[in-house]
Chains A and B, each alone.
Chain A
Amino acid sequence: MKFGFISAKRRAALLWLVAVAVMLTPVAAHAYAGPGAGFAVLSSFWTLFVAFLYSLYAFLTWPFRHLLRLFRRRKAYGNAKIKRAVILGFDGMDPELTERFIAEGRLPNLAKLREQGTFRKLRTTYPAISPVAWSTFMTGVNPGKHNIYDFLARDTSHYLPYLSSAEIKGPKRTMKLGKYTIPLGKTEIKGMRKGTPFWHWLGKAGIFCSVIRVPVTFPPEKFPGVLLSGMCVPDLKGSQGTFCLCTTRASHGKFREGGVRVAMQRVNGVCQSYIPGPDDPLAAGSELRAEFEVKPDAAAKQARISLDGESVTLKVGEYSEWLPVKFKAGMGFNARGICRFYLKEVSPEVEVYVTPVNIDPGRPDLPISHPVTYSIYLSKLFGPYATLGLAEDTWALNEQVLDDDAFLAQAYGNHEDRERMLFDALEKTQQGLCACVFDTTDRVQHMFWRYLDDDHPAARNLPREQRPQVIQELYARVDVLIGKVMQQIDDKTLLMIVSDHGFKSFARCVNLNAWLHQNGYLALKEGKSESGDWFEDVDWSRTRAYTMGLNGLYLNVKGREREGTVSPGAEAEALKAELCAKLNGLKDPETSGIGITGVFDCDATYAGPYVDNAPDLIVGYGEGFRASWDSVMGKVTTQIFEDNLKAWSGDHCIDPRLVPGVLFSNRKIADEKPAIVDVAPTILKQFGLPLPGHLDGKAWTVA
C-alpha cells in the first residue's frame, strides 16, 4: 500500500505508534533526544514547577488568609443584602432610543428587565460629559469634589488646555552624555481625579472587585481587587489617540487633529514608510519612528506588510491583528506598543492606515491596570487588545481616512475583546463587585447618528431607505450581551445597567467664542477678525470671557487668569448673570432652533474643595446643537452657527436635562428620579457598608 493512500487518521495513528515505540525503547544514555524534547519537557516542567510553588505558597498561607478573609467577610458581608453586584456601563445609552427600540421589539432582554425589575432615566452630571459623569458614578460626589469638569482643563497662566484626568511628566533628572540626554528615574504619572471610587471602600472591607474599563481610572490606583483602566489611557505618544495614514499619494493636507499623514516612498515596487512614535527620551525634540514596508500586489488586491520581523498579508479593506511595534531609541532604551494595520488601497496609489500605537497590555510601558499583572493576564488569556482610552478611532472616520465599515469593524473588534474580559471577570468574581464599561455605544452613536436623523446635514445626500441601521443594530447587540449576562447571574446578584448620559443629534455647531466676540466679551488683536486655535489672536487685555472645551465658559478674572480683566466678586457675578441672561434661549437664525437652553452658574451647581478649578458657567446647548469644533479648540470665527458636516453627528455635551442616562436593574428600585451620583452609595449600602459622610448621592431603596 502506498503511503499516500493511508488516511490522515491512520497516518496520525502510525506516527503515534512510531513515536511511542521509539520512546519506549531507549537505552539509558540515549534517552535524551536533543533540545527539541528538552525544550518541551523543560518548559512544561517549569510551568508545573511554578504552579507547584504557587500551590505550596497558597497551601501554606491558606489557613491564615482564610481566617483573615472570614473575619473581613463577616464584617463585610455581615449586613450585605446581596452576594454580588454586576454593573454594566454602556457609555451614552439613551433612554428614549432604548424605549423606542423596546417598543419595536428589538430589545427583548431589556424589555424583560423593565418588566421584572426597573427602568428609569438616570440624571447625569453638569456637564453631561463622560469623564465627568463616570467620575461622579465611581466616587458618589459632585465634580466640585472629584475635580473633573471636562476632558480638558485650562492653564490660567497661558489660557492653554491640558488633559484634566492625568498628568504625565518625564523623569525629573537627566544626565547629559554627548548628544544623548539620559533620563534618570521613571516617568511620573499623576492622577488628577480626586475622590475615592466606591470599589476602594468595598475592597478595604474584604469584598473582591473586578473593574474593567471604567473611564478616568488612569493611572490605576491601588486597591484590593483588579482593575483595567479605561477612557483617558493615552497612546504610546502620550496623546489620546493619534492615527497614521501612510500614503504614496502626494498631499500636504494636515488632519485637524487625531492623526498624521506620512509619506510612503516607493522603491522597486516596495513601499517604505514609518509609524511616528513617542518623543525620543535621549534626544529632546525628536520623535522615534518604527519603519515598515509594504509590498503591494495590485492584481490580487492585497499587500504584504513587514514590521520588525513580522509580516502579514492583507487584502484591501482588511485589518491586521494587533502587531507588536518597537521604537528603538538607542542605548537600550525602547518603547513598545501594539498597532493594527488597515489596507486601504494598493492601486494606483498605496495607502495604509495605522491605528494609534496602543500601550502593549502584555508588556506595558505605563501601568494600565492594578495590579500591573492584570493587563498582562488578560493579554495572555485573550491576546493583545486595545488599551487606548478612546480606542475607537472616531477621528479617522471624521477625516474620512476610514469608511463606515472599517470604523465599525474596529469598534466591534474592541467590543468583542471587552465582552471576553467581562465574562472572565464574571467567572472570577462569584462574590463581590464586577463592573465593566463598554464605550462602543458612545462611539457608534457619535459617528452614526446622521443615519438616524431625518435631516442631518452630514447625511442629506443619502436617501433614507439607503441608510444603514447602525444604531438599531448597536442596541440589539447590547441587548444580546445583557441577555448573556442575565443567564449567568443568580437571584443573590444585583444587576445594574447604567449609562452616563443619553444622546441627541448634533446637526448645528455653535461657536460661542464667535458670539462672545460679536457681543463684546472677547476682543481680537488689532486688525484681526478671527483667531487661530487656542486664542492665538485674542487680545486678553480687552477680553472678559472665553470658552474652550465642550461646555465650560470662563471669565477672564483678575488675579486668576494671567491677564485678567474682570474683578472677582460683584463684577464677576454681574457678568455671569448678564451672560446667563443673554445666552439662555439663544436662537439659531437659520433654523429658528434654540441653540442654548440653559446656562448654569458653577458656584451654585458645584460644592467641594476643587470648585476653584471649575469653569464659571456651564453652557447647556439645545437639542441638535453643540459647541463647534473650532470653539472647542479656542478658535474664534465669524460664524456663530453652522452646519455640522462631519461623521461625528450625535452628541451629548448639551443641556444635561436633555440627555439623562439609563438605569436598568433586575430588582425593583423605588426611587423615581435616580441620579448617577447615587450609584456609589447604593452599592455600598447593598453590601452593608456605612456610607462615608462626604458622599453627595443617596442610596436607593432596592427591593
Chain B
Amino acid sequence: MPHEMAFAGLFRWNVPLLVVIAISIVIGLVMVLVFAWTSDQKAIRVAKDQLKAHMLAVRLFQDQLGVVLRAYGSLVAGTGRYLKLAFKPLLFVIIPLTFLIIQLDHYLGSTPVETGQPFLVKAQASSIDDIALKLPPELTATAPAVHDATGNEVTWRVVAQRDGAYDVSVAAGGQTAVKRVVVASNIAAVMPKLSSVRLRDQWLDRMLSSAEPALPADSPICAIAVTYPDRSLDFAWIEWNWIWLFFVLSLVAGFAFKSLFGIEI
C-alpha cells in the first residue's frame, strides 16, 4: 500500500526517537494550521480572553464572595464555550489523526521479538480440542501448549533462533491459519511493521489493532496473537512510550508554531 511504502522509506532511517521527534514536529505544525483554518479564531480569542478576565476577577474582587462565586460560574461556563469552539477543529483532525496514530503504532508501539528470547503465541478458536501449532525450522516451542477451555484459548511458548520474519501456522477444525512473527537481534534500532494479532471479523478491532488481513470468515480460528514487547524510547532521561512522547513533543511544537504564526488555540 502506498502509505506503507512511505513509512517504510521513512523508517529506513531506523532511529525511532528521531522519527518520533520529526513526526511530532510535522504533526504539530499541520495540526496548528488545520486548527487555524477550521476554527473561528476571533471567537476563540474572545472566549480565552473572557476566561482570563474571570480569573482576574477572582483575584481583583477576592473579598467579595458573591463576585468570586459568579466568576467561578462564569469560568465553568466559559470553559464549556471554549471547548465547544475547539470541538469543530477537533472533528476535522480526530479521525485522520486516529488512523495515522494506529498506523504509526504498528511501527513504533512494539519491538520485534528478540532472537533467543521466549515469546508467546496465542490462538483462540471455536473448538480447541484438535488445535495444533506448526512452526518453521527457525522457531522452536519450548513448553507444552497451555489450554484455557473457558476462553477457548491455547498458548504456546516459542523461541526464535535467527533474525527474520516467519509465518507460524495454527491448525484447527481441519483448517489452517497463518500469523507473521518478526524476530530481530537489535530490537531497539529496527522498526518493522508489526501486528500483534490477526483476527476474524471484529471489524473495529481489526482496524484499530491489526495490520494483517482478516482470517477467513468460515475459519474456526478467531484470533492468533504474538506478544511483542512494548517499545520504550529514552528521551530527556526518561523512558517514554512513543505515544506520550509524541503527545508532549507535538504539543510543544504546536505551541511554538502557534506563537510563530499568531494562531489562537
Contact = CB atoms under 8 A, between A and B. Distances in A.
Is B one of A's binding partners? yes
Interface of A: 15, 18-19, 22-23, 25-27, 29-30, 32-40, 42-44, 47-48, 50-51, 54-55, 58, 65, 69, 208, 226, 309, 371, 373-374, 376-381, 383, 427-428, 430-431
Given A47-B51, A58-B62, A377 B56 contact: yes
A36 B50 contact: no
Given A33-B94, A208-B64, 6 more contacts: A26-B98, A30-B101, A43-B265, A378-B53, A428-B57, A431-B64
B86 interface: yes
A32 B247 contact: yes
20 contacts: A23-B94, A30-B101, A35-B32, A35-B35, A35-B250, A36-B86, A37-B94, A39-B86, A42-B251, A43-B265, A44-B86, A48-B75, A51-B72, A58-B62, A208-B61, A376-B56, A380-B49, A380-B50, A381-B57, A430-B66
A34 B100 CA distance: 10
Contacts of B243: 29-30, 32
B75 A36 contact: no
A58 B94 contact: no
Most chain A beta carbons < 10 A, residue from B63, B64, B253: B63
Contacts of A208: 61, 63-64
Interface of B: 27-28, 31-32, 34-35, 46, 48-64, 66-68, 72, 75-76, 78-79, 82-83, 86-87, 89-95, 97-98, 101-102, 105, 109, 204, 208-209, 241, 243, 246-247, 250-251, 253-255, 262, 265
Contact of A47 (B31, B62, B75, B97): B75
A28 B159 CA distance: 29
Contact of A226 (B54, B60, B89, B94): B60
A26 B78 CA distance: 27
Nearest to A381: B53
Interface SS, B side = helix
B93 A51 contact: no
**Residue among A30, A65, A378, A383 with max Cβ neighbours from chain B (10 Å):** A30
Given A34-B27, A380-B49, A373 B254 contact: no
A309 B57 contact: no
Main secondary structure of the interface of A (DSSP, over half): helix
A591 B101 CA distance: 88
A613 B35 CA distance: 61
A36 B95 CA distance: 12
A380 B250 contact: no
A686 to B, nearest CB: 20
Contact of B67 (A23, A33, A50, A428): A428
A29 B243 CA distance: 7
B87 to A, nearest CB: 7
Given A32-B247, A309-B262, A371-B60, A15 B91 contact: yes
A32 B101 contact: yes
Contacts of B82: 40, 43-44, 47
A50 B255 CA distance: 19
**Which of A43, A309, A430 has the most C-beta atoms of chain B within 10 angstroms of its own C-beta?**
A43
A51 B74 CA distance: 11
A379 B45 CA distance: 12
Contacts of A22: 94-95, 98
A25 to B, nearest CB: 7
A208 B246 CA distance: 50
Contacts of A30: 98, 101-102, 105, 208, 243
A381 B49 contact: yes
B56, B86, B87, most chain A CB atoms within 10 A? B56
Contacts of B204: 25
A38 B209 CA distance: 23
Contacts of B57: 377, 381, 428
A377 to B, nearest CB: 4
Contact of A380 (B56, B89, B93, B255): B56
Contact of B101 (A34, A39, A55): A34
Contacts of A65: 62-63
A19 B265 contact: no
A200 B90 CA distance: 50
Nearest to A68: B63
A347 B244 CA distance: 58
A40 B89 CA distance: 10
A85 B111 CA distance: 73
Nearest to B95: A22
B58 A35 contact: no
Contacts of A309: 262
